[in-house]
Amino acid sequence: MHKYIKRVLFSIIGACLLMTCNFKNVRKLHFPKTNLAESPLIPMPLKIDAAFGGFPLDEFTGIQTSGNDGFERLGTFLMEKIKLKTRLVLKVNQQKNDQIKSFIGINLVDELFSENLEAYELVIGKDSIIINANTADGAFRAIQTLRQLVPEMSNDTLAVNRIWVIPTGTIFDAPQYEYRATMLDVARHFFNVEELKKYIDVLSYYKINFLHLHLSDDQGWRIEIKSWPKLTTIGGSTEVGGEAGGFYTQEDYAEIVAFAAQHYMTIIPEIDMPGHTNAASVAYPFLNGNGKTPKLYTGMRVGFSTFDTRKDSVYTFLDDVIREISMLTPGPYFHIGGDESHVTKKKDYLYFVDRVEKIVQQYGKQMTGWDEVANADIDSTSIVQYWSSRANANRAIKKGMKIIISPAHRTYLDMKYDSLSSYGLDWAGHIRTDSAYMWSPEEYGLKESILGIEAPLWSETISELAELHYLAFPRVIGYAELGWSIQENRVWENYKLRLAQQVSFLKRMKVNYYPSPLITWKTAM
């Protein structure tokens, strides 16, 4: 600990020297009492030591970064986000500036209280805020915490200029799970690049770090494959309800991946197979294995389609698809779906999953699949997403695989909140804002078998961003906390007060959240 305190002091002094911080300028301001531990942070950090003073964020605050280019970009990111909230335009990495009276330092350090790659310390003093992290990921997570600490309202009585008072103290933080995800079904209804970017921006504020895109299903194929163009020109032409569908060109997809990466979020592409493949088979009928002439489908049934698992040409096709998508995907995972293949014979299904796993691995990716894939003879490096069958999840755990926790009755964002919900389905029950939050991933396995948690949003009943928002928010905010915060830091009575204070952010981001009557929503922080 001694070594640790020394290092914090060192980084404070270091950052000051770096920016020729002029301490003569530090003002004596008398702040009203603030308590860092009572700030409406979501997800709740690991540990908060409050110091009950205030840091004056104002036009005299500068941002200073040390480390690599990634850190410099983070400085600009923070500046832009503070501007959006307060209209302050802070200077980033300005070497000499007598106007600067307080500063925010974003430091790359090689030693931290935790070795977790997303860990960070946020040390808030009376004239400096220091972020220490040993990766840019950690610093990015810290920046989200800091954004949440900037009050909505400035204090206009402390000085002639407007000051946003940030409570002092130290936060030590690290996630309990490395994987905190949501899934969006862009196959049943298509959502365009701009809509996805808006969603990513808001999700990253709550430290969600993976976005799983369900890119194909019976009703639509949504990603351009250069070697098989009809997948999108024909297979992407419609959606549930019969409206024009849509698809991402490879350039669009790369843009989504890059935007996500700027938000320290990884995209996981899913091509669902061997079932859920009607749209692909309409485009290329040789793929079809259900013996019927495929036609475009705009209904909501599942489980009627399958690839022909015994044709080599099907695997040649899949090799192209998996290769093209993998090349555009820097993340480690490729999701092969594998759910509800009700018209594929069991032995064919098992053969198929084994063979596709090899293709995924050949292109340098780890395979993930819905829990049914646990029945095949797959590698312990592949990952099983538990959504329905506990037996399948346990099978995966026995094989030494990691599982993703997505039980439908707990995490499905497309389930209605209650019988009055405007959108959503109810086959797995109603999921209220409190029941979405009041459970623990460890109910489904030991912590070491769990990669993390994911909340899927299937889009049969939603076609507009506002409808997507309605089902996702506020529940997805609770899932973000379930993935990040340890169980003893998750208390509904406390969480609901913090959630109530998210309104200003959600309004600013134009998020159409469901105003759950369980929450006493607050209009200003």
Pairing label, strands 210-214, 179-185: parallel
Q: How far is CA 233 from the centre of its chain?
A: 30
CB 143 within 8 A of CB 129: no
Residues between 432 and 461 with contacts to ligand TNX, criterion CB under 6 A: 458, 460
Identity of the residue, 302 or 343, whose beta carbon is nearer to ligand TNX in the bound complex: 302
- Cβ at position 458, least distance to ligand TNX in Å: 3
Q: Can you tell me the distance from the alpha carbon of 66 to that of 168, in angstroms, rounded to the nearest whole number?
A: 22
Which residue shows structure tokens 């501007």? 83
Identity of the residue, 56 or 407, whose beta carbon is nearer to ligand TNX in the bound complex: 407
Q: Can you tell me the distance from the alpha carbon of 407 to that of 320, in angstroms, rounded to the nearest whole number?
A: 32
- The active-site residue out of 72, 340, 372, 443 is 340
Binding characters for ligand TNX, 387-426, by CB under 6 A (x = yes): x------------------------x-x----------x-
H/E run at residue 50: strand 47-57
Identity of the residue, 66 or 298, whose beta carbon is nearer to ligand TNX in the bound complex: 298
CB 131 within 8 A of CB 121: yes
Token pair for residue 79?
């500046």
Token pair for residue 73?
């970009």
Query: In this structure, what DSSP letter does residue 415 have?
Result: B
- Cβ at position 214, least distance to ligand TNX in Å: 8
Cα–Cα distances in angstroms (integers) from residue 347 to residues 119, 309, 344, 352, 353, in the given order: 45, 10, 8, 9, 10
- Cβ at position 414, least distance to ligand TNX in Å: 5
- Cβ at position 281, least distance to ligand TNX in Å: 17
- Cβ at position 102, least distance to ligand TNX in Å: 50
Q: Tell me the CB-side half-sphere exposure of residue 60, using CA atoms within 13 A.
A: 20
Residues between 361 and 380 with contacts to ligand TNX, criterion CB under 6 A: 370
- Cβ at position 425, least distance to ligand TNX in Å: 5
Q: Can you tell me the distance from the alpha carbon of 482 to that of 41, in angstroms, rounded to the nearest whole number?
A: 13
Q: For residue 457, which of 480, 437, 475, 434 has the smallest C-alpha distance?
A: 475
Q: Is 488 a catalytic residue?
A: no
Query: In this structure, what DSSP letter does residue 118 have?
Result: T
Token pair for residue 307?
């690839």
Number of residues that bind ligand TNX (CB under 6 A): 10
Token pair for residue 246?
């849509």
Q: For residue 165, which of 124, 206, 120 has the smallest C-alpha distance?
A: 124
Residue 334 makes contact with ligand TNX by CB under 6 A: no
- Select the residue interacting with ligand TNX from 195, 319, 340, 434 (CB under 6 A): 340
Which amino acid is located at 433 in the chain? T
Residues between 288 and 327 with contacts to ligand TNX, criterion CB under 6 A: 302
- Select the residue interacting with ligand TNX from 118, 137, 224, 339 (CB under 6 A): 339
- Cβ at position 295, least distance to ligand TNX in Å: 19
Rg (CA), the chain: 24
Identity of the residue, 23 or 427, whose beta carbon is nearer to ligand TNX in the bound complex: 427
* Interface ranges with ligand TNX (CB under 6 A): 302, 339-340, 370, 387, 412, 414, 425, 458, 460
Which residues are annotated as catalytic?
340
